[in-house]
């Protein structure tokens, strides 16, 4: 039985990582085998790239084109080393960010040519595309407030991408809206301004029918 590929998307502070973990728990309770991965990262090579992209003290001069290529180098490794084998084994793969993030962040946010961005993504992913994408939507102001709260309460770990200004994240949000409008069958927008349990329930309403269909 072929597996199921579900990606989570959203701006900073949308609650993706929490909801990925909760959905994995629900699916395992249903008796499904679940693989949770993240981008950038998810493999030993990808985690090295993640550090270079986000946390290294040596990355301040990184060009946007370098960022684009490194993101997709990590993605190419994740697809081939983890995602494709897991899907072939019938697992449900939950990915905390995937190709839509690159369109939103490097395309709309950084202002790189969208056609070039899509071509680079195609090299990285080939035919491996999500069956369902859950876009956790919060207004930019809520995103900024949650980001400030997270940075104040968690042990500090520098994130170069989070250092961008408000205008950058507004462009990212606009990119996500464009992606959702272009592919409404794949991309389901989830209002992520509610409680954790409210968002969890909204996600389950989207996921449960698809999982049930795949099981038949």
Q: Which domains does the chain have, with CATH numbers?
A: 4-215 (3.40.50.300)
What does the block give as tokens for 105?
């962040």
Tens digit of each residue's pLDDT (9 = 90 or more) over 82-137:
999 999 999 999 999 999 999 999 999 999 999 999 999 999 999 999 999 999 99
Categorise residue 42: left if φ over 0, alpha if ψ from -120 to 50, beta otherwise: left
Residue 203 has phi, psi (to 5 degrees) of -65, -45
Cα 143 to Cα 164: distance, rounded to the nearest angstrom? 13
Closest CA to 206 of 195, 192, 75: 192
Residue 62 has phi, psi (to 5 degrees) of -60, 125
Tens digit of each residue's pLDDT (9 = 90 or more) over 24-81:
999 999 999 999 999 999 999 999 999 999 999 999 999 999 999 999 999 999 999 9
The answer to whether residue 195 scores a pLDDT higher than 80 is yes
Tens digit of each residue's pLDDT (9 = 90 or more) over 175-194:
999 999 999 999 999 999 99
The answer to whether residue 202 scores a pLDDT higher than 60 is yes
Residue with tokens 């180098």: 73
Cis preceding linkage at 40, omega within 30: yes
Cα 126 to Cα 111: distance, rounded to the nearest angstrom? 24
- List, as one string, the DSSP characters of 63-107: -HHHHHHHHHHHHHHHIIIIIHHHHHTTPEEEEES-HHHHIIIII
Sheet (strand 4-9) strand order: 34-38, 92-96, 4-9, 132-137, 187-191
């Amino acid at each position: 039985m072929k597996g199921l590929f579900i990606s989570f998307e959203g701006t900073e502070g949308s609650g993706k990582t929490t909801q990925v973990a909760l959905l994995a728990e629900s699916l395992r309770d249903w008796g499904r085998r679940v693989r949770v991965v993240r981008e950038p990262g998810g493999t030993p090579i990808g985690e090295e790239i993640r550090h270079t992209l986000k946390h290294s003290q040596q990355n301040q001069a990184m060009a946007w084109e370098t960022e684009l290529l490194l993101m997709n180098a990590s993605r190419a490794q994740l697809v081939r080393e983890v995602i494709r084998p897991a899907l072939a084994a019938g697992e449900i793969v939950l990915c905390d960010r995937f190709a839509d993030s690159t369109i939103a962040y490097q395309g709309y946010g950084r202002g790189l040519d969208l056609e070039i961005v899509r071509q680079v993504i195609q090299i990285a992913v080939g035919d491996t595309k999500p069956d369902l994408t859950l876009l956790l939507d919060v207004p930019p102001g809520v995103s900024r407030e949650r980001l400030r709260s997270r940075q104040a309460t968690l042990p500090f770990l520098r994130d170069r991408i989070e250092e961008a200004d408000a205008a950058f994240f507004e462009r990212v949000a606009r990119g996500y809206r464009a992606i959702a409008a272009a592919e409404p069958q794949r991309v389901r927008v989830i209002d992520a301004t509610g409680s954790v349990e409210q968002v969890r329930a909204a996600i389950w309403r989207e996921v449960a029918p698809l999982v049930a269909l795949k099981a038949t």
